[in-house]
Amino acid sequence: MALSAISVGGMRTVLISGGGIAGNTLAWWLARHGFRPTVVERAAGQRSSGAPVDVRGPAVPVVEAMGLLERLRAAATSVTGARLVDAGGATVARFPMGGDRPAGRTELEIPRADLAAILHRATADDVEFRYDDTITGLTEDAGGVDVTFARGEPRRFDLVVGADGLHSAVRRLAFGPEARYVRHLGVWVAGMSLRGPADDPHDVLLYNTPGRLASVHPARGDAMAAFIFRGPMVDGLDHRDLARHKRLVVEAYQDERGWRVPELLDRVRAADDLYFDSVSQVHLPRWSRGRIVLVGDAASCVSLFGEGSSLAIAGAHTLAEALAAGGYGAAFRRYETVHRRRTEPKRRAARYVAGLLVPRTRIGLATRNATARVFARVRPAAPAR
């Protein structure tokens, strides 16, 4: 699509920290409205695969307007259901998910990095990308923001956006330390590729014991294992300490003999790559300060129990539209008013979803399973894809 070249209220240059879901979506829409976005991304390049995330609700019209719906459909997993299993692998209850739902609702499930890569490919020709770098300093004055980088030369921008996820550098530099804003939900998540297909290519399998969930997701060929378990915050945890992460997962599940858990734990012990993080939410009283604003998980992470990827797309679009309509102060206020109405209910729901997915007690688990059996019987089966 040809991009317009109008100047918007003298605000032309926008630095976006983070080339993920929110960052790429925002860059696309800002370029379309005549801004000159630059994206700085810490990773060395765009990767593929990753944990499957959703495109649904308010994100669907946004990606459709970007002309990406068919590409996203083609990249979606072929998952049509989620199945609770018992220790012997027998089905407790099955729920339909994904695809084109009844009443014309589209819900696509796509590996996170594939979604980011598709958004990136749509954006790359019109936006400057700087990989393998990160912002180290932000100094704002009346006319702009002076930015320093770990590797690149210092530069000045009209606006700076933090789209750099749960552990946002922009949030830390502009609003203060992460501990003030990031709240651990008392749950940890670990995930890894099984580097081969799942036995069941269409169903996500979920096995619970009190306070613990182990699952296998078929993804798009290379199945993903995930471990979601309850536990307190670990002080001083280094986000790059793979050996420690592996130990924490193994300790949490080592007495578990049911389903595929012993075999999956062996895979964890042997893994050279394991995603591991606390399941957290971000609570910020304001999403902007002067010429600096946050979007996506950096502003309002609802956790993996919410709809973070769809919210990231919808929030980025709302921010771009607000900026295109007028000055940054009013635009940031408008964006926050509109988008908080979407994120707050999802944030509250996330705690409830956590309780359903990882019940704490034996009684809680039995009650959840009994309810799931009844609920599964009254839900229609998903159409085969």
Ligand X SMILES: Cc1cc2nc3c(=O)[nH]c(=O)nc-3n(C[C@H](O)[C@H](O)[C@H](O)COP(=O)(O)OP(=O)(O)OC[C@H]3O[C@@H](n4cnc5c(N)ncnc54)[C@H](O)[C@@H]3O)c2cc1C
- Binding footprint of ligand X on the chain (CB under 6 A): 17-23, 40-43, 51-54, 112, 134, 163-165, 169, 189, 191, 296-298, 304, 307-310, 312
d(CA 115, CA 156): 30
User: Are 359 and 365 a contacting pair, CB within 8 Å?
Assistant: yes
Angle formed by the axes of helices 328-357 and 308-325, nearest 10°? 170
Between CA 311 and CA 318, with CA 313 as vertex, the angle to 5 degrees is: 90
Residue pointed to by tokens 């929110």? 22
Nearest 5°: the CA angle 138, 120, 222 is: 115
For 177, other C-beta atoms within 10 Å of its C-beta total 9
Give residue for tokens 């609570």: 283
Tell me how far, at minimum, the Cβ of 142 lies from ligand X, in Å.
Answer: 26
Nearest residue (CB) to ligand X, 178 versus 373 = 178
- Residue (146 or 373) nearer to ligand X, CB: 146
Q: What tokens does 55 get?
A: 């495109």
Query: In the complex with ligand X, which residue's Cβ is closer, 239 or 377?
Result: 239
Rounded to a whole number of angstroms, the minimum distance from the CB of residue 116 to ligand X is 6
Give the shortest CB-103-to-ligand X separation in angstroms: 20
- Residue number, 162 or 359, with CB nearest to ligand X: 162
CB of 385 to ligand X, least distance (A): 18
- Kindly tell me which of 9 and 275 has the beta carbon lying closer to ligand X: 275
> C-beta of 120: minimal distance to ligand X in Å?
9
Rg over CA atoms, the chain: 21
Residue closer to ligand X, measured from CB, 208 or 278: 278
Shortest reach from residue 338's CB to ligand X, in Å: 17
Phi, psi of 153 (to 5 degrees): -70, 150
- Work out the number of other CB atoms within 10 angstroms of the CB of residue 100: 14
- Span between the terminal Cα atoms of the chain, in Å: 31
